[in-house]
């Protein structure tokens, strides 16, 4: 079990490092087109899902906190800042990307790999391995960072509006309270964590997709392994980040 986990960890890491090392390929038009397509699929099309979750989170958390603790909006806003911006935002974004895009990336790369086994000239002449991995890893990282930014904006706006309605105060007053309760470094921290989640899950999906070489029956296994690996990666990284923040 340990050897398998170690092998997977090395494979995931090498795939991610390999994609970063081949960043010069972004000058090629096919790679740029693949990157734009990945951002559209992973980021733009996921905006409605992230927006709905953020809207509900901001409104529900503030309403429940005010109901339980009384009209102490600083506590409610801190709950939104702590739970929404730093913790829940990157996790929700990662889960949406895993469900929507990780499966698609693993299946797409696996099908490309299978086609290369049938027609060697297809993989060798038209699509190189680096050109497959790089745009997907970078596209998922950019999309994840953008999605968590959308989540933060909508969750904060929803929380401010909810507290305004419940407390009967002005929006300017609630905004001042939020800016007092917020900590600026939480925003870039959550965006950076989300970008790491996106890049890591895409690299894991590409790794498992590239393991399918000749047997189409291995494709479902590769998809399941990509999902499990991505969930494990997100959990481990989030746990390490929480421990580091606690120690600091």
Q: What is the pLDDT of residue 140?
A: 93
Does the structure show a pLDDT above 80 at 202?
yes
The answer to whether 50 and 150 have CB atoms below 8 angstroms apart is yes
Q: Residue 230 falls within a domain, yes or no?
A: yes
C-alpha 163/C-alpha 4 separation (Å) is: 50
C-alpha 85/C-alpha 99 separation (Å) is: 21
| Total-model pTM | 0.83
Tokens of 182: 């917020």
Q: How confident is the model at residue 121 (pLDDT cuts 50, 70, 90)?
A: very low
Q: Residue 22 falls within a domain, yes or no?
A: no
Q: Residue 227 falls within a domain, yes or no?
A: yes
Q: Residue 114 falls within a domain, yes or no?
A: yes
The answer to whether 69 and 169 have CB atoms below 8 angstroms apart is no
- Nearest to residue 54, comparing CAs of 146, 142, 144, 148? 148
The answer to whether 123 and 19 have CB atoms below 8 angstroms apart is no
Average pLDDT over residues 12-21: 78
Q: What is the pLDDT of residue 30?
A: 80
Q: Residue 59 falls within a domain, yes or no?
A: yes
Q: What is the pLDDT of residue 243?
A: 85
C-alpha 80/C-alpha 66 separation (Å) is: 12
Q: What is the pLDDT of residue 244?
A: 81
Q: What is the mean pLDDT of the chain?
A: 80
- CA separation (Å) from 42 to 81, 103, 146? 25, 11, 10
- CA separation (Å) from 100 to 43, 49, 146, 174, 231? 10, 11, 16, 36, 13
For residue range 122-176, what is the model confidence (pLDDT) as tens digits? 444 434 555 688 889 999 999 999 999 999 889 888 888 887 887 777 777 767 7
Average pLDDT over residues 40-61: 89
Residue scoring higher pLDDT (234 or 177): 234
Q: Residue 57 falls within a domain, yes or no?
A: yes
- Which residues form the domain of 78? 46-247
The answer to whether 192 and 146 have CB atoms below 8 angstroms apart is no
C-alpha 69/C-alpha 76 separation (Å) is: 9
Does the structure show a pLDDT above 50 at 120?
no
The answer to whether 79 and 61 have CB atoms below 8 angstroms apart is yes
C-alpha 13/C-alpha 19 separation (Å) is: 10
Q: Residue 186 falls within a domain, yes or no?
A: yes
Number of domains into which the chain is organized: 1
Q: Residue 183 falls within a domain, yes or no?
A: yes
- Nearest to residue 206, comparing CAs of 68, 71, 104, 96? 104
């Amino acid at each position: 079990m340990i050897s398998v986990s170690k092998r997977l960890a090395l494979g995931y890491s090498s795939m991610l490092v390999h994609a970063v090392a081949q960043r010069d390929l972004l000058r090629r038009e096919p790679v740029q087109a693949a990157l734009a397509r990945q951002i559209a699929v992973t980021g733009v099309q996921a905006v409605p899902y992230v927006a709905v979750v953020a809207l509900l989170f901001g409104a529900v958390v503030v309403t429940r906190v005010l109901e339980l603790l009384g009209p102490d909006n600083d506590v409610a806003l801190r709950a939104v800042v702590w739970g929404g911006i730093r913790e829940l935002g990157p996790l929700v974004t990662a889960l949406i990307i895993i469900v929507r895009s990780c499966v698609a990336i693993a299946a797409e790369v696996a099908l490309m790999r299978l086609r290369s086994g049938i027609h060697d000239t297809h993989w060798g002449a038209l699509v190189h391995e680096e050109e497959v991995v790089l745009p997907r890893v970078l596209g998922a990282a950019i999309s994840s960072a953008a999605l968590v930014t959308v989540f933060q904006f909508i969750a904060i706006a929803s929380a401010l509006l909810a507290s305004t309605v419940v407390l009967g105060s002005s929006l300017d007053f609630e905004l001042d309270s939020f800016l007092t309760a917020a900590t600026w470094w939480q925003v870039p921290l959550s965006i950076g964590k989300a970008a790491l989640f996106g890049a890591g899950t895409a690299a894991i999906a590409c790794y498992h997709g590239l393991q399918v070489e000749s047997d189409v029956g291995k494709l479902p296994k590769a998809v399941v392994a990509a999902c499990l690996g991505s969930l494990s990666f997100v959990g481990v990284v989030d746990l390490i980040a929480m421990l580091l923040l606690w120690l600091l």
